[in-house]
Amino acid sequence: MTKKLCPITFPLHGKRLIEASAGTGKTYTLAALFVRLILGHGGANGQPQALTPPQILVVTFTNAATAELRQRIRDRLIEAAQLFRGELSQPDPFFSALLADYPPADHPRCATTLELAAEWMDEAAIFTIHGWCQRMLTEHAFDSGAAFDETLEQQSDERLMQICRDYWRHFLYPLPPTLLQAVNPWQSPEALFEAVEPLLERGVLPVIGEELLPEPCAPQALQQPVEQWQAAQQAVLQQLAEVDKADAMAKLDCAMEKGVLNGNSFRVKDWPQQRQQLLDWQPLQQILPSKMVEKYCQQNLTDKTKKAKQQETPTHRLFELLDDLYQLEQGSPLPQATQQLRVHAARWIEAQFIQRKTAERVLTFNDMLTRLQQVLLDERGERLVEGIRQQFPVALIDEFQDTDQIQWQIFNRIYGHAAQQQLALILVGDPKQAIYSFRGADIYTYLSAREQADAHYHLETNYRSTDPMVTAVNQLFDQADQTQADGAFRFVQAGQNRLPFEPVKANGRREQLCYRGQPLAPLNYWLIDTPYPADREVKGSGLINKADYQQLLADYCSGEIAALLSEPQCGFYQGESFTRLQAGDMAILVRDRNEANAIRQALQQRGLRSVYLSERNSVFDSDEAELLQSWLQACHNPDEESLLRLALMLPLSMRSDVELLRLTQEEQAWEAMTEALRGWQQLWQNQGVLAMLRHWLHYMALPQRWLAEPRYGERSLTNLLHLAELLQQESQMRRSLTGLLRWFEEQRQQASGGEGEQQLRLESDAALIKVVTIHKSKGLEYPLVFLPFICNSRILKKGDSGRYYSDRWQQSVYDIELTDATKTVALLAQQQEDIRLLYVALTRARHACWLGLAPLLSGTSPKNHTAQSAIGHLLQLKPQSTAAEMAQACQPLNWQRLRPKDATLSEALETETPTGAALTLTQPIRRSNWWIASYSALQHGGSGGDELADRRSDELGSEMGQKSSGQPKLDTIHAFAKGAKPGSLLHDLLEWSQRQGWATFDPYSDANHAVIEQRLRDHGWEKQTPVIQQWLQQMLQTPLQRGGTLATLPQSIAEMEFWLEVKQVEVSQLDQMITQAIWPELARPALKPTQLNGMLKGFIDLTYLAADGRYRVADYKSNWLGPDETYYTTDAVKQALLHHRYEVQAVLYLLALHRLLTQRQPGYLDEPQRYLGGALYWFIRAPEAGQIQLDIPLTLITALDQMFQQGRAA
């Protein structure tokens, strides 16, 4: 029995379920219950004592929802405090009842309690489900057995993909080509991963036609049975190649002429084409379709011979061999072998995934849930359960319709007997809005939990929409619920409706939407029927195909919107006031990006601007990200012309056909573009990716071109600048161009799966028409909602994959190959969710909604596919329903039918922001020449605002070192590739190994071997893996010049960043001071004359505490000085060091360390020589001979410190 919820008397103990239909004040109710719990309100219906915010567990399902919920509850607590202080003039009914339950003498105490709770909300226990599970595992680590040093990995796709590539190498590469082709239909590791990924999902049972998957079998074990079958098949095909087909065709000609065979199976009109197909068939070179093999095999010819002509059955050796071939095909081990291979791959990948996560101490979101579930259910669970109950006596679970079996088991284990222990588990959700099955949400878990609840409540009043809008939605669903045998949501099972529709009341709205003085109908629709437009009708059937439906309805919808916006008397009336309708009042809800593109293009053609918001609203999943990736690839490989051509041809590159033709035909123009590309690459290397992108943007004139184009405009420019900022941030962690580009590509791959940095919102977006996916719109509301493509639905076929709830297995399953029987079940599950999706879409509207209807064609079937859609079910359409019958189905609902409008946005509506007068300056701008410099700036000179320090600009372009005669010995580090990329890779490996912990690092372990091999493979150097492993081992064990080894360092920090303030320091003066202090007798090139004024930035390869107890810096140099260690003499190393002015770098690094120790090390200023050591410059291709120690005078460091601060020499 469902009860009406009253927030003031709702019992705050036991297991209780609140069903909150769309717009019925769910968040308001949650906040009201929170206020009562803080006050200890309710007596027998309350908790034994008042609770604090950290004691009330609130769980929802997104980070954005937690932030919003936290703020809404905080605001409600503040408002309640004002109530008890007498500062709230018009309290709502809940507050009035709450105030009446306390005597005036208690009001000050209540106000104080509420104010303290509001101030405490930053520590309130409001979490996402994953965040709460992680918190419980770490806070109760001894009870849960969780490790303290595990890190969270938000995205595991790339790790899983790498394991899949390893599987491909280990198991599939060694197979004979014929076997590989037979059992492996996937052409790449990526395709294999796409096939096995559903088998790795949590909480979903993978099946084939509702049968369990076959046992896994290693690919090598499949070789014998498959090869035996292939040999038998080949023998039959060899005989078929030798048989006289002409003689067989003559016998069939005679049988067809005499009518020997069944006319329905062997149609005379089909025979000429099939006859030719059999004659042309080359058995050893071509595959004859299975249907043809079955049709013309001897057994079928015998079976299909008419009874009166049994003696005239055509017989021939060809037909007998086709019999053998058909029997072989029916008994083929290949389908089973393919599935066994898929299962084997899935199990191996899953095992490796667990093993590698354990080795690297990594935790995923799914791990948090499963670990907490496992701990709660085993012998350690009781103690942990009791600890959580004491910590959180009350749990409010929001959006519970999106739960799954594991989440429910966790909360039910903790609060399963809540009533007996004065605990409370309050579940809040709406099964009609359960639309996230693709994320693992399971509506059957919700329904099961509802049956286990102590009591079931509902919120009965809609506060979002107008009375007519609520009535229209009620009428649509209530009519279907009352008249359809399986209910509105198709959940009638065994005569019981497990998901009934309960109409809600309407609170109404003060404003009214009117058009030319008349109220607009709440539900409006367009219907494509014949003869309008007749040219779109397919084959005289009265049906229209999906592409035309989408094009026409996009046109109808955009025309209606243009007409509404162009009408001055269309808007909202509230009393005497009138607010004209704006573009920002409208939302068009779609299923996917394809539908979004169709409607946005139609809007653009009518001069209407829009913004697209989706579930995958990541800036990495944008067209701008595709553009940027193409141009980064072109800049990274400027000699690969195909990459540049691809980048230029992208729409966002804004090159016209004329420009592209000129570039391809005029050699001078093409050379200018390629030279610009090389210049951008150099800029990227020397000044960073942000500087490069700025030059590229302006060279290509993209900002002005985008802003002149409505479909791009501010959105495209904002997205690209956002991406540039993210690239610049990541470049601080990745020195090489290759590493940064690979990171960007990985982010794009992950974003296509729903993750990634979200697009920045623009203020101007609020004024645009919003094109939103229905999934994204959940929880939002809009004055006007358009559903132009609501008849679209997925078409499932036999052999497709699908999700459904299996009564046989009593859980949700993922069927990787639907049969005729399971396809029906999967179609039902799909339609059930589509109906819930439609409910979500319709309930987003405050005032009115528009739907696009049409009788849709599906393939070659003459049936109306709209009958299978959600709207088709609610309108009770049949597969034979015509457009006229669809119109009749809408009549009892009093929907307003519309005809297409041919309107564009009127000029009067296209207002521009007024432009103010330009600022008049009273005096010239004084330029301070303030800039950010790096060591590379001292080498190359330069100043100005666009001079950005690159993390490794001191080495890029200088890795070739000195030329030397002789050839290095193969399989040594001296034979390893030379240049900037190899140098950056060696640096990255040292940095990575330091972060792993040098004391225990083993380059030969399986996990580290895999990482090293992959990093080398990225550059095509994977054959050098043993060389690099040996080199890394030598680096760790080689004695350092001031004692110890890398493996024995007590403290070390890799890549420590520093920023030094510099005030008008002349580089020539700096050069003179350093030259006089360090090897003054040796010649060196002068630094470029410039002035440092601003900030000096850099990264120190290694900062460490040496064996002598002093802090030192080390810098790795991968310069190649010769083919073996004998070339790395002290003189040679000094010469290379001075040639590149590395001693200047060493001084700056020690100055940064001096500044750090001044601030952090007690007693440093009293005895700086006790703590500050020197600089080790390490030419890492010769780990032992390549070291040189620079003992820099302390007087130089202190003099430079003073000069940098004061702008003059000490």
Active site residues: 1115
Tokens encoding 1210: 């000490």
- By C-alpha distance, which of 755, 628, 624 is closest to 696? 628
Distance of alpha carbon 96 from alpha carbon 91, whole angstroms: 6
Distance of alpha carbon 332 from alpha carbon 293, whole angstroms: 14
Which of 233-241's residues contact partners 24+ apart within 8 Å by CB, and which partners? Answer: 233/325, 233/328, 236/321, 236/324, 236/325, 236/328, 237/283, 237/284, 237/325, 238/283, 238/284, 239/321, 240/283, 240/318, 240/321, 240/322, 240/325, 241/282, 241/283, 241/284
Can you list the alpha helix ranges (DSSP code H) found in 361-404? 365-377, 381-391
Tokens encoding 314: 């055509």
Tokens encoding 921: 């300056």
Distance of alpha carbon 192 from alpha carbon 63, whole angstroms: 33
Pairing of strands 586-590, 523-527: unpaired
- By C-alpha distance, which of 55, 42, 54 is closest to 12? 42
Contact between 114 and 106 (Cβ < 8 Å): no
Backbone angles phi, psi at 10, to 5 degrees: -55, 130
Residue 618 DSSP one-character state:
B
DSSP codes joined into one string, 538-593: BTTTTBB-HHHHHHHHHHHHHHHHHHHHH-TTEEEEETTEEEE--GGGEEEEESSH
Backbone angles phi, psi at 787, to 5 degrees: -125, 75
Instruction: Please give the distance of CA 451 from its chain centroid, rounded to a whole number.
Output: 35
CA distances to 146, 427, 474, 823 from 786, in Å: 49, 32, 18, 31
- By C-alpha distance, which of 163, 329, 350 is closest to 1007? 163
Residue 700 DSSP one-character state:
T
Pairing of strands 512-515, 518-519: antiparallel
Query: In sequence order, what are the residues at sequence separation of 6 or more whose Cβ sits closer than 8 angstroms to the Cβ of residue 981?
Result: 736, 737, 738, 1019
- Prior bond to 900 cis, omega within 30? no
Please give the helix or strand (H or E) that residue 679 lies within, else none: helix 667-687
Distance of alpha carbon 18 from alpha carbon 446, whole angstroms: 12
What residues form DSSP beta bridges with 426? 16, 396
Distance of alpha carbon 892 from alpha carbon 877, whole angstroms: 14
CA distances to 9, 24, 29, 392, 772 from 44, in Å: 10, 27, 20, 19, 46
Environment class of 807 (CB within 10 Å of its CB; exposed 0-12, middle 13-18, buried 19+): exposed
DSSP codes joined into one string, 1162-1207: TTTTT-HHHHEEEEEEEETTSTTTTEEEE---HHHHHHHHHHHHHS
Sheet with 211-212, edge to edge strand ranges:
211-212, 205-208, 811-815, 802-806
**Which of left, alpha, beta for 1076 (phi over 0: left; psi -120 to 50: alpha)?**
alpha
- Prior bond to 531 cis, omega within 30? yes
- Cα dihedral: 635, 637, 639, 642 (round 10): -90
